[in-house]
Structure 1
């Protein structure tokens, strides 16, 4: 008999199905696991004075019971309903408990009662072609968007832009994809490299890689899954640094309003260079470039790539850093008034919840939030 899926495996399958990247075998594993569950009522003890560990254990024991639905259905609608329910429970398990034990209930209620609430970001981007033509991708129909030389640019049914080669001469046209605040997007370059852009980010790249190197330039935060090509190194230029790889998975956080540039390596190897320094990092390591020097540390990979997987993941995060993430994803302005709280915040929650749900973690501290339209005033 096949071993029962772990919570981490369920979470991974949920994300893959939501992103449309799950294989048939993975979808079958998820559906089989789901169909085994009996219909029972999930119960959290009212007395939250019990230990966090005890409450977590109680919730973990009942997670499968909570996810019981119609066993016979295999329709896409039921599958997506299952994904939604599984995601909501897993988010509660991985994030809500952090907040519940650190937050007094009146503060939580005040957030829930907020009149000001904003929907999360979504797939939004603008593709600017070399001649200056701008394509708003949310408005563009699926299918061919443009052709440059022998490169055909298509928008797929799952909302991704893919560059593919056809007959004819390769084009050296330089294009830019940019996301606004409240946007993210997935792009496949002509060499097969997959690129994910976080909110308020951009990548500039050629329609086809014709030289000795494959070189792109980014701003903001971008995750790369580079197609291997030993004869053509892949180079990423961001503020004050250059990253060079042959084929690998890595994340770069290079927002202008962040104090440092962080490069996190998940797989393969990466060489980083600045005007006077060159270093190598290994999988599981993170380079922090600040004040003209690199510092290499062990990475919290889950935190670094949480955004790509659909989460906010805070680990002892200060209020200013946290609110910058909120500002970018929910397209709101943030203004600090008076002294700045020294509180730090830890938790994990879906990026696809309304802002009021995410801000529960902030409202429970000594931080005060005041809404004025799409501006949040932060004070103590």
Structure 2
């Protein structure tokens, strides 16, 4: 590509070209876009094109320096696709002045999936929103989705007016966080701390599929023609309308699904069971088994409570330390013999929680920096 044409592109994007010059550039870029070959190493062409369009559209919306009439012209003529073509052209023709920037831009889009967990809302297109910092009543919206903060821990998710294939939404909680999310179909999910849910920006017409990790409570809107499936590494729940707790974060390393209402099919590898209300399907030693459960205890996190019934003190303290973002140090041995039944609001400060624990006269708890140090009395 000739340097004169590069200068013409810059002139157009700066809003200084006349109408004929802009039309000539638009046409040229459209031709280049249509005949550009995608190297296999970048993956599926349609997927990469969607990512390019999404990211460029984001930048255009956020770029205050673009003149209003230029933004309008870009979107009316679908020229944001042609700007993507410009990036691709710069990348493949080897222009030194643009090569590094183009390569970095495309890499950021293509390799946007991160192995590091992101607390809040994120997407596979590299969006990241700290929903904890949103004000009550505030809405974050784009053409592809919106999320509104209804109250301190409650959010409403809706797909946008524009469908973007393969856009995946992830909502994750950290320590000292629990969120309730209204999904697009009317279902509701409550995430305990250090949990996450992943779902498509739009559910498909014949199925609703989500992935989950940690501890979550689902209240699924009934749709007989559109099954709702929750999957994790080792277990799957399939329902059409019901409520249940999905837990892959069990302290005993035994993932389970506890059915509160309705009916539910639980699967693990080649095995499956049908649960009834009040039954908990547990994966233990790679086999599914059915146990009863206490509903108040298993739903305690949805009411912002710690509720332990005859639980080992080590499990209790680990949950408390995790919620308050602290490290746990248990001094001495013989802790397996100490078990507590206790009910504590998560609204309490860590100091208040320690006071309650020490009323048992079994343990002494001290705080040093971010460490919870526990000794037997």
Deviations for 1:334-358, whole angstroms, at most 9, x for unmatched residues? 1233314111101222221122333
2:202 alignment partner, one of 205, 208, 212: 208
- With structure 1 as the length reference, what TM-score do the two structures score? 0.62
Which of these residues, 264, 273, 277, is aligned with residue 270 of structure 1? 264
Q: Residue 171 of structure 1: CA displacement?
A: 5.0
Contact in 1 for aligned 2:251/2:315 (Cα 8 Å)? no
Alpha-carbon separation, structure 1, partners of 2:160 and 2:247: 34
Matches within 5 A, 1:209-228: 209-210=203-204, 212-228=206-222
| Structure with more of its chain in helix, by fraction | 2
Aligned residues: 256
Residue aligning to 2:123: 129
- The alpha carbon displacement at 1:186 in A equals 1.3
Is the 8 Å Cα contact of residues 311 and 351 (structure 1) preserved in structure 2?
yes
Q: Which position in structure 2 is the counterpart of 1:35?
A: none
Partner of 1:199: 193
Are the counterparts in 2 of residues 125 and 183 from structure 1 also a CA contact under 8 Å? no
Which residue matches 2:33?
A: none
Instruction: Report whether the alignment pairs 1:164 with 2:162.
Output: no
- Give a deviation string over 1:290-340, Cα, whole Å, max 9, x none: 221222112100000011112111110001211121022211111233314
- C-alpha displacement of 1:159: 4.9
Matching residue of 2:333: 339
Write the deviation string for residues 124-150 of structure 1: whole angstroms up to 9, x where unpaired: 95111231121111223444312354x
**3-state DSSP of counterpart to 1:191:** coil
Is the Cα contact below 8 Å between 1:148 and 1:171 reproduced in 2? no
Q: CA RMSD in A?
A: 2.3
Residue 357 (structure 1) aligned with residue 357 (structure 2): no
Q: Distance in 1 between matches of 2:282 and 2:363?
A: 28
Contact 2:171 2:196 in 1 (8 A): yes
Determine whether 1:175 maps to 2:165: no
Q: Which has the higher contact order (CA 8 A, sep 6+)?
A: 1
- Counterparts of 1:272 and 1:378, CA distance in 2: 39
Closer/same/farther in 2, CA of residues 169 and 129 from structure 1, 3 Å limit: closer
Structure 1 unmatched ranges of 5 or more: 1-123
Report whether the alignment pairs 1:379 with 2:375: yes
Structure exhibiting the larger radius of gyration computed from Cα positions: 2
Deviation at 1:178, TM superposition (A): 0.7
Unaligned runs of 5+ in 2: 1-117
Q: Displacement of 1:232 after TM fit?
A: 1.3
1:270 Cα offset (Å):
1.0
* 2:143–2:161 Cα contact (<8 Å) kept: no
**Cα pair 1:125 1:184 within 8 Å, conserved:** no
Alignment-derived partner of residue 314 in structure 2: 320
Report if the CA contact (8 A) 1:255-1:261 is conserved.
Answer: yes
CA distance in 1, matches of 2:146, 2:367: 45
Alpha-carbon contact 1:148-1:207 (below 8 Å) kept: no
Shift of the 376–166 alpha-carbon distance from structure 1 to 2, 3 Å rule, reads: closer
- Correspondent of 1:254 among 248, 252, 256: 248
Distance 1:207 1:127, change over 3 A: same
Tell me which residue corresponds to 2:363: 367
- Corresponding residue number in structure 2 for 1:116: none
Deviations 1:181-205 (A, max 9, x none): 1111111111111111111111111
Structure 1 segment 45-194 matched on structure 2, within 5 A: 126-141=120-135, 142-149=137-144, 151-157=145-151, 159-165=153-159, 167-169=161-163, 172-194=166-188
In structure 1, distance between residues paired with 2:346 and 2:133: 23
Task: Report whether the alignment pairs 1:291 with 2:291.
Answer: no
Secondary structure of residue in 1 paired with 2:303: coil
CA 1:331 to 1:311, structure 2 compared with 1: closer, same or farther past 3 Å? same
Q: What TM-score do the two structures reach when normalised by structure 2? A: 0.63
Contact 1:186/1:194 (CA < 8 Å) preserved in 2?
A: yes
2:228 maps to 1:234: yes
Q: Look up the SS of the partner of 2:277 in the other structure.
A: coil
Q: Does the Cα contact within 8 Å between 1:340 and 1:379 map onto a contact in 2?
A: no
1:316–1:361 CA distance, 2 compared to 1 (3 A): farther
